[in-house]
Amino acid sequence: MFDKMNEELEEYILGHIDAEPEPLARIDHDTHVQNYYWHMCSGHLQGRLIKMLTRMIRPRHVLELGTFSGYSALCLAEGLPDDDCRVDTIEINDEQEDFIREHLALSPYGHRVTLHIGDACDIVPRLGTRFDLVFIDANKRQYVEYYDLVMDCLNDGGFIIADNTLWAGKVVDPKAQREAQTQGIIAFNDRVAADPRVERVIIPLRDGLTLIHKLPSQQ
């Protein structure tokens, strides 16, 4: 009954929020058809939340770690204040490049997105850019490393959104805590919880979404 209610509630929610834009619906469909890991796509509800959060934060420069199929990158781009704002998105899997570029080209917001193929730990320092918003949805084993990396280039008052921070409930499952990806998420959550530089809240949406606000430096 619990699972059935979840499905009914999700259908109800999706019927009462903004419709999924057609280019994003196409990405979602093509990801399901062409990618074994289709479940990694942000999807309608999370995508509309990412777009809304971006609209509220009003960033000029956005960084995304983990493009996957480009769905979340386009949600970030859609929420930007204007065409002078940019999303730099990084995907380590070069086999995704053609899919991503094809779907960016089909979106009215694709021109706001710059795709980088490679390791974020190599690419981010080379960008030489400071960011107002960072979305982390990449290798769970490296979340702490990503956190340290992006905090160095995140403006005071900026935000980090980290996906998968409840990891299907495995963060509280003793049997699952031996898994490397679960350990990476737990280490990240502990690091963020103990960091005096930030405010944070975890939203139990899908696999867990953590919102992190970098406080102004105390001079």
The SS3 call for residue 78 is helix
Full-prediction pTM beyond 0.95? no
pLDDT digits (tens, 9 = 90+) for 55-91: 999 999 999 999 999 999 999 999 999 999 999 999 9
Q: Which residues are paired to 131 by β-bridges?
A: 154
The domain locations on the chain are 2-214
C-alpha to C-alpha distance for 178 and 52, rounded to whole angstroms: 36
Task: Report the CATH number of the 2-214 domain.
Answer: 3.40.50.150
pLDDT digits (tens, 9 = 90+) for 129-150: 999 999 999 999 999 999 999 9
Residue-averaged pLDDT of the chain: 93
